[in-house]
Chain A
Amino acid sequence: MYKINTIEPLWWGLFGAGGFIAAFLLPVHMLVNGMLIPLGAAPQEAYSPQRLAALVSHPVVKLYLLALVSLPLFHWAHRFRYLLFDLGIHGGRTAIAFLCYGAAIVGTVVAAWTLVRV
C-alpha cells in the first residue's frame, strides 16, 4: 500500500456520500415529511405524531437521521470550499477549509445532540 500526504479522501468520501443522500433521499423526505404529511395528503393515522416519535426513538432511525442531516452538510462544505476557489479566492485556503468543514462538524454535533435528546 502507499501513503499520501493528505486527508482529502476523508472530505471527498463524505462529499460523495452526502451528494448521494442529497440527490436521492432528501427529496423524498422533503416531499413526504415536508409537504405530503403537513398538507394532509398522507394517511394521518400512519404518520401521527405519536407514531413518528416512537419511530425516531429507535437507535437505528436516529443513526439514519444523523447521516441524513450530517452528510449533506459535508457535501455543501466541500462544494462551497471549491466554489470559493473557483471564484478566484485563493488566499487563506486553509482557513476556508477549516471554516467549511468546521461548520459541517458543528452541524453534525448539533444534530447528534438533538437526536440524543428526543
Chain B
Amino acid sequence: MAERTIGLSVTRFRPGEDRQPVSQTFTIPYHDDWVVLDALQYIKDRHDGSLSFRWSCHMGVCGSCGMMVNGVPKLTCAAFLRDYFPNEVRVEPLANFPVIRDLVVDIDDFMHKLAEVKPYIIRDDLETAPVGFGHEFRQAPEEVDDYRQFSMCINCMLCYSACPVYGMEPRFLGPAAIALAHRYNMDSRDQGRNERMPVIGSSEGIWECTYIGECSVVCPKNVDPASAIQRTKLATTNDWFRSILMPWGKR
C-alpha cells in the first residue's frame, strides 16, 4: 500500500525577504498519532530547516506552541492530524499578534499586561513572616476551590487570538491577564486586591469585554476567562456603588 500523505499549508514570513506572509504547502507522510507540531517538526527536519515555530514541552503544559490550525487557535501539540485528515491542514501564526518570523509571534504586549496585573501573592508580611514548618500561609481545600480553575492558565494566549475585542482594541487587557488577576484576588492568602482592581477595573480592562465568550471556548485548560471577567464586572460594580453610597465605608 502506498504511504498515506497529508498536505500542510504553512505560513512563511522571513523578515527582510518577504514583504508579507505567504503560505507554502508541504506534503508529508500521514500518521494518525501525529499532532500538528510533529508535522511541523518533520518539515523542519526533512524539507526546510529554516521553518520557525515555538514549542517546548510537547505535552500541553508550557503554552508556547499556540498557532491557528484551520483558522482556530490551538495548541499544536494537542491538535491531532487525524482530526483533519485527509484534508489539508492550514497552519498560521496566532491571530491578533504581530508576526516576527514564520509561525513565531511577538508576545511582548501580553507579557507587559501580565506584569501589570501583578499575578503573584501580595502580602505585607511576606518578608517578615517567620519561615519554617507551621508558618505557612494555610488554606482550606474550599478556599483553594475559589481560584483553582483560574490558576490552570498556561499563558498560551489562545484566548487573545480568539478575542475579537482584542483584535479591534489592542489596549484591551485581555482574557488571560484578567483571569489571572481574578485568580489572585480570590486567593485567601493574598492582600493585593486593591492594587489589581484599578488595573482590571479600568476602561481598558474588563469594560472592553462585550461578552463574546470565544476565550472560554478555545482555552485548552478550561480556565473560563469569560466568567472571570463577568465576576470581576460584578465585583467592581458592587464596590463602585458602595463607594458612592457609603463614601466613608472601608473594606
Contact = CB atoms under 8 A, between A and B. Distances in A.
Interface of A: 1-10, 12-13, 16, 82-83, 85-86, 88, 90
B173 to A, nearest CB: 13
B24 interface: no
5 contacts: A2-B197, A9-B233, A13-B237, A85-B165, A86-B165
Contact of A9 (B211, B236, B250): B236
10 closest pairs, A vs B, by CB?
A: A9-B240, A82-B210, A8-B207, A4-B201, A9-B237, A6-B203, A2-B194, A2-B197, A13-B237, A2-B198
Given A4-B240, A5-B203, A8-B203, 7 more contacts: A1-B249, A4-B236, A5-B198, A9-B201, A9-B233, A12-B237, A13-B241
B168 interface: yes
A90 B241 contact: no
Interface of B: 164-165, 168-169, 193-195, 197-198, 201-203, 207, 210-212, 233-234, 236-237, 239-241, 243, 249-251
Nearest to B208: A85
Nearest to A4: B201
Given A12-B233, A13-B241, A90 B168 contact: yes
Contacts of B195: 2
Given A5-B203, A6-B202, A88 B243 contact: no
